Amino acid sequence: MALIVQKYGGSSVATPELIRQVAKRAIDTHKKGHQVVVVLSAMKGETDRLLALAHDMVREPEAREVDQLIATGEIASVALFALACQALGEKAKSFTGFQAGIQTDEMHQRARITGLDPARVRTELAKGRVVAVAGFQGLNEARDITTLGRGGSDTTAVALAVALGADTCEIYTDVDGIYTTDPHICESARRMEKISFEEMLELSSLGAKVMEIRSVEFAMNYNMKIHVRHAHQPGGGTLICEEDSDMEKKPVTGVAYSKNEARITLTKVADQPGIAAKIMGIISKSGIVVDMIIQNQSAEIDPALGQPLTDISFTVPLSDYARAMEMMEGTAAEVKAARIVGTDNIAKISLVGVGMRNHAGVASQMFQTLANEGINISLISTSEIKISCIIEKKYTELAVRALHDAFGLGQATTDA
Ligand code: ASP
Ligand code: MG
C-alpha cells in the first residue's frame, strides 16, 4: 500500500463532468489499495474571476480580503470533488488548507508555508477515506487566510507529500509531461521520461509553465519525486527527480524561450566604483527583478574628465519595463549617462542541461547555430547548467527550432 498525493490543476477540474472524472481517477487509485490525498486548484478561470470582482469593488483591494475571497475557489473545488466521490459510492472528505494543517507566514497573496501538521488528514486516511485538500492556501499566525501566489496549488501538493511522507506526488495537468521545448513551435519536441530537479527549476524560472517554481524548489530540498502526467489521457508523463548518470550524457536537455523581457542600456556612464551599485540599487529597491546584466569594458575616455566610460545593459520583466525606464530617466543625470535606450523587441533563448557541467563547447555550438541562421546575439549569460542569449524577438521560433535540432533533442536516445 502506497500513500499517493495527486494534484489536479484548474483545467482538469474546469467543469462538473471533469470533476467527476478526477474523482473516478482518485477512486481507481484508492481501489488498488493505496491511500489517496487529492489537492485541487480552483476551477479554470475562477481565481481570475474572483480577482476581477475584488477590483470591481475597489481599485486597490486589501490583500487580506483578497485572500479571503480567492481561497474560496479551491475550497469549492474540493467540496465538489468530495461530493462527486460520495455520489460514486466512495467515502471522501474535503479540507481547506488550514483544516489540513498548513501554516504560513504573514505575506498575503505570496505566503510561504512555514509549518504543516497533517494530523487530520492522517486520521481520515486511516478511516479509509479519500482526502481532498484545497490548494493554494494556508493560515497565518493571526489566523487569517493566506494564499501562496499564482500556481500555488503545486506547492500545497508537494508540501503535503513531504509532510505525509508520501511515496509519490503526482501532478496532473493539461499536458502529458515536460517537453524538450515548446511543442507548439517545434514539431520534433519530445516528452522527457525524466528530468532533474535542477533542470526543472531552471526551466520553470525561464517561463515553462507546467510546474510552479516554488514547488520544484520544495521538492528538490526534500527530495520528493514529482510525476507530471496528463489528467485525462493515459501515458507515462515525466518524472522530476534527483540527477542520475543517464541525464548527464546529453549536454543539453531542453530549450526554453521567453518573450517577456525588455532590455535597458545606459550608455557612456563613468566606469568607476559605485555606478553599477547605484543603478541596480534603484531597480532592486523598487522590487523589480533584474535577470541579465552586462557591462562592457571601457573603451572610451571622457574627454572632459579624463575618466573611462562604459555601457551598462540589463533586462527586466516586460511588466516592469515602463517603470524601470522611468526610474532610469531619473537616474541618468546622477550617473551621467549619455543616453538611455530601451527595447522590448527582444527574446531570451536558453539551453538547459546538467550535462553542461562536463561537456565543453556547448556555448560555442549555441552561438554558431544562431550565427548560421543569421541571428545576432545582444546579451549572453551563463550559469552552471544554463546558457541564455538575448536575440531579436522575430527570430524566437527560428532560434528554438535550430537549437533543438543542433543539440539532437528530437531523438529519443540519452546517449551523447
Ligand atoms: N487557483 C490559483 C491560480 O489560478 C492557484 C493554482 O491554480 O495553483 O493561480
Ligand atoms: Mg498550475
pLDDT digits (tens, 9 = 90+) for 208-231: 778 999 999 999 999 999 999 999
Domain membership of residue 152 (yes or no) is yes
pTM of the model: 0.88
Which of 150, 156, 209, 213 for mutating ligand 1's site (highest number of atoms within 8 Å of CB)? 150
Closest-lying ligand to the alpha carbon of 152? 1
The verdict on 312 and 393 lying in the same domain is: yes
Domain membership of residue 140 (yes or no) is yes
The verdict on 46 and 126 lying in the same domain is: yes
Q: Is the CB–ligand 1 distance for residue 407 below 6 Å?
A: no
Closest-lying ligand to the alpha carbon of 155? 1
Domain membership of residue 144 (yes or no) is yes
* Domain's final residue, options 174, 202, 226: 174
Contacts of 62-70 with C-beta under 8 Å, sequence gap 24+, read 63/108, 63/109, 64/108, 64/144, 66/108, 66/109, 66/147, 67/108, 67/109, 67/137, 67/144, 67/145, 67/146, 67/147, 68/144, 68/145, 70/42, 70/136, 70/147
pLDDT at 56: 98
The verdict on 263 and 357 lying in the same domain is: yes
Domain membership of residue 33 (yes or no) is yes
| 371 pLDDT above the threshold of 90 | yes
In the block, cell 479519500 appears at 130
The verdict on 16 and 143 lying in the same domain is: yes
Q: Cα(136) to centroid of ligand 1, in Å? A: 6
Q: Is the CB–ligand 1 distance for residue 355 below 6 Å?
A: no
Beta strand residue intervals within 237-385, DSSP E: 238-241, 254-258, 261-270, 293-295, 300-301, 308-317, 339-343, 346-352, 379-383
Domain that holds residue 120: 3-174
The verdict on 259 and 390 lying in the same domain is: yes
Number of domains within the chain = 2
Lowest mean pLDDT among 144-153, 161-170, 251-260, 296-305: 296-305
Domain membership of residue 416 (yes or no) is no
Neighbours of ion ligand 2 (CB under 5 A): 9, 151
Q: What are phi and psi of 103, to 5 degrees?
A: -105, 145
Domain membership of residue 364 (yes or no) is yes
The verdict on 154 and 293 lying in the same domain is: no
pLDDT digits (tens, 9 = 90+) for 332-351: 888 889 899 999 999 999 99
- CATH number where 80 lies: 3.40.1160.10
* Domain's final residue, options 119, 153, 174: 174
Distance CA 157, CA 136 (A): 9
Q: Residues 80, 85, 87, 90: what is their CA dihedral angle, to the nearest 10 degrees?
A: -150
Domain membership of residue 111 (yes or no) is yes
- CATH number where 267 lies: 3.30.2130.10
pLDDT digits (tens, 9 = 90+) for 300-342: 787 777 888 899 999 999 999 999 999 999 888 888 898 999 9
Q: Cα(371) to centroid of ligand 1, in Å? A: 40
Banded model confidence at residue 416, pLDDT cuts 50, 70, 90: very low
* Domain's final residue, options 174, 202, 233: 174
